[in-house]
Amino acid sequence: MGATKTDLFTKKQNEIAAMAKAIAHPARIAILQQLLKTNACVCGSLVEDLGLAQATISQHLKELKNVGLIHGTVEGTSVCYCINTKTWKQYQQLFADLFIDITDSQNCC
């Protein structure tokens, strides 16, 4: 017990859940918004901006990297992060597909 029973669900369902989990934390939302806003790679300045410890930020960045939403390139001692446009568009599409248009008539109770 305790672990999600992924074998009961379709590959797609597990995939959607994993993608949602990646953005299911305010720090990761904040990181993504910061990357969108500054357009460029803010790298380590995210630590000052967010107010979390360096180790914690690094952990969140790793998760975002794992699902491919961002990628980082080493620049000297610092690392530059930015949105992965391709994956970003996939997320856009996936959530649009999930929250498909629904008519009020479908509502039954």
Partner DNA sequence: TCGCTTGATTGCAATATTACGATTGATATT
Partner DNA sequence: AATATCAATCGTAATATTGCAATCAAGCGA
Q: What is the contact surface with its own copies in residues (CB under 8 A)?
A: 4-6, 8-10, 13-14, 16-18, 20-21, 23-30, 32-33, 36, 39-41, 50-52, 71-73, 75, 80-85, 88-89, 91-92, 95-96, 98-104, 106-109
The Cα–Cα gap between 90 and 85 comes to 9
Binding string, residues 58-87; x marks residues near DNA by CB under 7 A: xxxxxx--------x-xxxxxx--------
The Cα–Cα gap between 20 and 69 comes to 12
Instruction: Return the DSSP state at 80.
Output: E
